[in-house]
Structure 1
Amino acid sequence: MTGERVPGALPVLLPFTLSRTRLGLRPSPRHGALLCVGTALTASAALAQGDAVRLSALAVIVKWAPLLLSGFAFNIAISLLAMLIGTAAGTFLGLAMLAGRRIVARAAWAVTQFFRNAPWLVLLFFVMFLVPFQVTLFGIRVPLPDWVKATLGFSLPVMANVAEIVRGAVRSVPDTQWEAAESLAFTRRQILWRIILPQCVKRMLPPWMNVYALVAMATVQASIVGVSEMLTLTAQVHAAEGGRPELFAPLYGFALLCFFLYCYPITRWTERLERRFQIR
């Protein structure tokens, strides 16, 4: 065929072919390498975007620190209120064990031994489920939230331990103090409140501070009954971050660090007071 058109012949559509030389496309090993590098860069960019969303453990702690510290402040508030109520009730209970009437002393001793040897968590459950959610005083309904009932639950073992501390401190005062006061015509109540108890303060302070440190650490048990304290908030933060296993130890370690930094100075101060008030 010379390519000349024959008269009377029909045109024929030949198949289209793509010439590599015409388009300048000649695949080479360099093109394959560039394709691999581009794919790797794209994957790296996507992975970097995914890692940016997943914060590190330190970043998560910094992000949620205000919330967690507010829960820790709630733990401290519960411990202080429980210690205040338990100390007031325990002082009178300890003095009742020293009463002249045997029936009063026996009843106070029984109450002290019961609450002193009962598990704190069991007492907390009893208070949470036996105390009503609200009480009516003079026609006014007063709600009792969970944290109030938890505070009452912690104050019961505090009361028993403080009662034993008061009883032991009063017993440690020499009998000559009683005899000297009686010789000056002081009544038993005057001797107790004006002479004996002021001397007992330095004896009671170190063990009282030990009890408070125990109460502060025990307040985390309130999370079991639904109180929104630090341990409860820590669990909620862990769930909010997707329940990532690598965050479990850092988050709960942060709670551990907060309680340690709060309770360790109390322990050191207690030891210093024990050396200062040592009875020879």
Structure 2
Amino acid sequence: MHVTKNENAWGGHPVLHPIGRGGRLFCRFTGIPYVNLTWWHGAIIVATLLMMASGAAAQYGNTTENILTTIIKWTPLMLEGFKMNLLMSVVAMSVGTMIGVVLGLCQVSLIPQVRTSSWLLTQLLRNSPWLVTLFYVMYIIPFEFHIGGVLIILPDWIKATFGLSLPVLANVSEIVRGGVQSIPETQWESARSLAFSRVQTLWMIIIPQCMKRMLPPWMNLYAIVTMATVLGNIVGVSEALTITRDILAAEGRNELLLPMYGYVLFLFFIYIYPISRVTVRLERKWAVDT
């Protein structure tokens, strides 16, 4: 991510430019580093997993094969928990994106009250620790609702997902704001000369141009959110880390501790690695000069 000053109607705020070769590896206004995984990251994880299994086997008088067999035996159950992580990440990104796009467009509004209030909300949610936000949501939103005499129970994973969607919408808001402000002011002037309204200019000219600039950081944010779903373990959601903890309690074998958690890390790597590679490739393909 490369950030420059664009002296235009937006008051010279930092604007969004996709990363290119030699560019920065983090987004300054989202505060989130880019996930740039390579094949050797996976090789290190696999090698570390095997070393942990071998070391644990030697320490507790077991065999590496026995530890790996136990991990494979529990893999189907762990994958069920991993599906919950993926479900939470998709829902959080969907909700956060829909609200974040609106909030981001409000940040470039010509109405000062709308622009200021949306900026304040974005900064509040963006700079709040994700875990703190998650705890607030879990305790503020009730576990059940009574609507028309009908009892509606709200599962923990839905509340946790909503908690994760709050920082997502703030970061999406900044991505949208940066993408819109990265388009040269001459585009707005040309549209005005053709009698386009501001809404027509935004949806027909500006948004189509900045979609390529916004997609890579949005994909990177999804990778971050997927990894952050393990925070649901702290608030009782039955996801991959929670199930792994339950498996360790059921087995009662200390030698499985590090290998099992290393295996969870490997599962996340397998899923996030393709997203990371596509993100980097799109950033380089759609890089813009500043």
Task: Measure, in 2, the Cα distance between the counterparts of 1:61 and 1:216.
Answer: 22
User: How far is 1:57 from its partner?
Assistant: 1.1
Task: Measure, in 1, the Cα distance between the counterparts of 2:268 and 2:73.
Answer: 20
- Residue-by-residue CA offset, 1:141-187 (whole Å, 9 max, x unaligned): 33211000001000000000000000000000011111111111111
Report the counterpart of residue 58 of structure 1 in structure 2.
68
- Residue-by-residue CA offset, 1:31-73 (whole Å, 9 max, x unaligned): xxxxxxxxxxxxxxxxxxxx99xx9211211111100001011
Q: Secondary structure at the match of 2:234?
A: helix
- The answer to whether the aligner puts 1:107 opposite 2:124 as a matched pair is no
- The answer to whether the aligner puts 1:262 opposite 2:271 as a matched pair is yes
Q: Calculate the TM-score normalised by the size of structure 2.
A: 0.76
User: How far is 1:139 from its partner?
Assistant: 5.0
Task: Measure, in 2, the Cα distance between the counterparts of 1:157 and 1:177.
Answer: 31
* Structure 2 unaligned residues grouped into runs of 5+: 1-60
Considering Cα pairs closer than 8 Å and 6+ residues apart, tell me whether 1 or 2 has the greater RCO.
2
Q: Which structure dedicates a bigger proportion of its chain to strand?
A: 2
Q: Secondary structure at the match of 1:278?
A: coil
* Structure 1 unaligned residues grouped into runs of 5+: 1-50
Report the counterpart of residue 277 of structure 1 in structure 2.
286
Q: Which has the larger radius of gyration?
A: 1
- The answer to whether the aligner puts 1:167 opposite 2:177 as a matched pair is yes
Task: Measure, in 1, the Cα distance between the counterparts of 2:172 and 2:151.
Answer: 32
Report the counterpart of residue 130 of structure 2 in structure 1.
120
Q: Secondary structure at the match of 1:135?
A: strand
Q: Calculate the TM-score normalised by the size of structure 1.
A: 0.78
- Give the alignment partner of residue 229 of structure 1, picking from 208, 217, 239: 239
Task: Measure, in 1, the Cα distance between the counterparts of 2:100 and 2:147.
Answer: 25
- Residue-by-residue CA offset, 1:83-111 (whole Å, 9 max, x unaligned): 00000110000001111110111000000
Q: Secondary structure at the match of 2:152?
A: strand
- The answer to whether the aligner puts 1:209 opposite 2:219 as a matched pair is yes
Name the CA shift for 1:177/1:70 in 2 (closer, same or farther; >3 Å). same
Name the CA shift for 1:137/1:185 in 2 (closer, same or farther; >3 Å). farther
* Aligned length, in residue pairs: 227
Report the counterpart of residue 197 of structure 1 in structure 2.
207
- Give the alignment partner of residue 156 of structure 1, picking from 166, 182, 186: 166
Q: Which amino acid aligns with 1:181?
A: A
- Residue-by-residue CA offset, 1:214-238 (whole Å, 9 max, x unaligned): 1000100100000000000000000
Report the counterpart of residue 24 of structure 1 in structure 2.
none
Name the CA shift for 1:138/1:190 in 2 (closer, same or farther; >3 Å). farther
Q: Which amino acid aligns with 2:273?
A: Y
Q: Which amino acid aligns with 2:209?
A: Q
